[in-house]
Structure 1
Amino acid sequence: MKDLYSRLAIACAVLLSVLLTGLGIVLGQFFPLFARDVAIDLQRQYWVYLIITLIIAFVISLLIAMRMMMQYARPVDEVTRVAVQIAQGDYLIRTKTDEPEYDNELAIAVNKIASNLQEMSTLRTMEQERLKTLIESMGSGLLMFGREGAVNLVNGVFEKTFGFSKEELIGRTYKTIGLPADIENLIEAVFMTEQVHEKQVRLDAGGLFSYMGVYGAPVIGHHGNWLGIVVVMHDITKLIKLEEVRKDFVANVSHELRTPITSIKGFTETLLDGAMNEPVIMKEFLEIIQKESDRLHLLIDDLLELSAMERESFSLQFSQINLKEVINDAMTIVSGNLERKKMNFVLDIPDQIIIEGDAGRLIQVMVNLLSNAINYSKEQTKITVSVKMMAHDVLIKVQDEGIGIEQSELTRLFERFYRVDRARSRESGGTGLGLAIVKHLVEAHSGTVELESTIGIGTTISIQVPLRQ
Structure 2
Amino acid sequence: MKNYYSRLLAASAVILSILLIVLGIILGQFFHLFAEDIDPAIQQKYWVFLLFTLALVFVVMMFVMAKLLQQYVQPIDHFTDVAHQLAQGNYIVRAHREDGQMNQQLTSAINQIARNLQENSTLRTMEQERLKTLISSIGSSLLMFGRQGAVNLVNRVYEETFHKSSEELIGRTYKDIGLPADIEREIEAIFLTEEKRSFQSKVYLDDGLCHLEVYGAPVIGENGNWLGIVIILHDITELIRLEQVRKDFVANVSHELKTPVTSIKGFSEMLLDGVVEDAAIKREFLEIMYKESNRLQLLIEDLLHLSSMERGSFEITRRPVDLMDVIGQSVKIVQTKLQDKDMKIVLEAPESLLIQADHDRLVQVMVNLLNNAVAYSQGGTVITISIQEVSGSVSIAVTDQGIGIMPSELPRLFERFYRIDRARSRESGGTGLGLAIVKHIIEAHQGTVTVDSEVGTGTTFILQLPLKEEIK
The question of a shared fold, defined as TM-score above 0.5 by the shorter chain, is answered with yes
Report deviation, 1:275. 4.8
Write out per-residue CA displacement over residues 324-358 of structure 1, whole angstroms, 9 at most, x where no aligned residue. 22222222322232233332112111123222222
Give the aligned CA root-mean-square deviation in angstroms.
3.7
Write out per-residue CA displacement over residues 351-385 of structure 1, whole angstroms, 9 at most, x where no aligned residue. 23222222222222112111211222222221111
Report deviation, 1:67. 5.3
Structure-2 separation of matches of 1:208 and 1:51: 99
| SS of 1:442 mapped into structure 2 | helix
1:356-367 residue pairs with structure 2 within 5 A? 356-367=356-367
Structure-2 separation of matches of 1:143 and 1:430: 51
- Aligned-partner residue type, residue 238 of structure 1: E
Structure-2 separation of matches of 1:189 and 1:323: 66
| SS of 2:251 mapped into structure 1 | helix
1:279 — aligned with what?
A: 279
Does the CA-based 8 Å contact 1:96-1:103 persist in structure 2? Answer: no
1:75 — aligned with what?
A: 75
- Aligned-partner residue type, residue 280 of structure 1: A
1:229 — aligned with what?
A: 229
Write out per-residue CA displacement over residues 386-438 of structure 1, whole angstroms, 9 at most, x where no aligned residue. 01111121111001122222222111111100001111111100010010111
1:448 — aligned with what?
A: 448
1:257 — aligned with what?
A: 257
| SS of 1:416 mapped into structure 2 | coil
CA distance change for structure 1 residues 82 and 262 in 2, over 3 Å: closer, same or farther?
same
Structure-1 separation of matches of 2:361 and 2:263: 32
Report deviation, 1:314. 3.3
CA distance change for structure 1 residues 8 and 189 in 2, over 3 Å: closer, same or farther?
closer
Structure-1 separation of matches of 2:81 and 2:319: 80
Q: TM-score, normalised by structure 2?
A: 0.84
Does the CA-based 8 Å contact 1:414-1:439 persist in structure 2? Answer: yes
Structure-2 separation of matches of 1:170 and 1:70: 53
- Aligned-partner residue type, residue 3 of structure 1: Y
Structure-2 separation of matches of 1:311 and 1:53: 111
1:310 — aligned with what?
A: 310
Q: Identity of aligned pairs, percent?
A: 57
| SS of 1:394 mapped into structure 2 | strand
Report deviation, 1:159. 4.0
1:376 — aligned with what?
A: 376
Structure-1 separation of matches of 2:318 and 2:200: 46
Structure-2 separation of matches of 1:410 and 1:380: 26
- Aligned-partner residue type, residue 334 of structure 1: V
CA distance change for structure 1 residues 76 and 463 in 2, over 3 Å: closer, same or farther?
same
CA distance change for structure 1 residues 69 and 260 in 2, over 3 Å: closer, same or farther?
same
2:425 — aligned with what?
A: 425
1:188 — aligned with what?
A: 188
| SS of 1:310 mapped into structure 2 | helix
| SS of 1:175 mapped into structure 2 | coil
Does residue 1:462 correspond to 2:462, yes or no? Answer: yes
Does the CA-based 8 Å contact 2:396-2:463 persist in structure 1? Answer: yes
1:62-141 residue pairs with structure 2 within 5 A? 69-97=69-97, 104-141=104-141
- Unmatched tracts of structure 1, length 5 or more: 17-47
Report deviation, 1:76. 3.7
- Aligned-partner residue type, residue 374 of structure 2: I
Structure-2 separation of matches of 1:173 and 1:50: 82
Report deviation, 1:93. 1.3
Structure-1 separation of matches of 2:442 and 2:226: 57
- Aligned-partner residue type, residue 358 of structure 1: D
Structure-2 separation of matches of 1:131 and 1:454: 53
- Aligned-partner residue type, residue 394 of structure 1: V
Structure-2 separation of matches of 1:149 and 1:218: 12
Structure-2 separation of matches of 1:419 and 1:344: 24
- The worse-fitting range, judged by mean Cα deviation, of 162-171 and 117-126 is 162-171
- Aligned-partner residue type, residue 258 of structure 2: R
1:290 — aligned with what?
A: 290
- Aligned-partner residue type, residue 375 of structure 1: A
1:328 — aligned with what?
A: 328
Does the CA-based 8 Å contact 1:383-1:400 persist in structure 2? Answer: yes
Structure-2 separation of matches of 1:57 and 1:194: 79
Structure-1 separation of matches of 2:49 and 2:159: 91
Structure-1 separation of matches of 2:413 and 2:237: 20
Does the CA-based 8 Å contact 2:162-2:205 persist in structure 1? Answer: no
* Paired residue total: 456
Structure-2 separation of matches of 1:360 and 1:310: 19
Does the CA-based 8 Å contact 1:388-1:395 persist in structure 2? Answer: yes
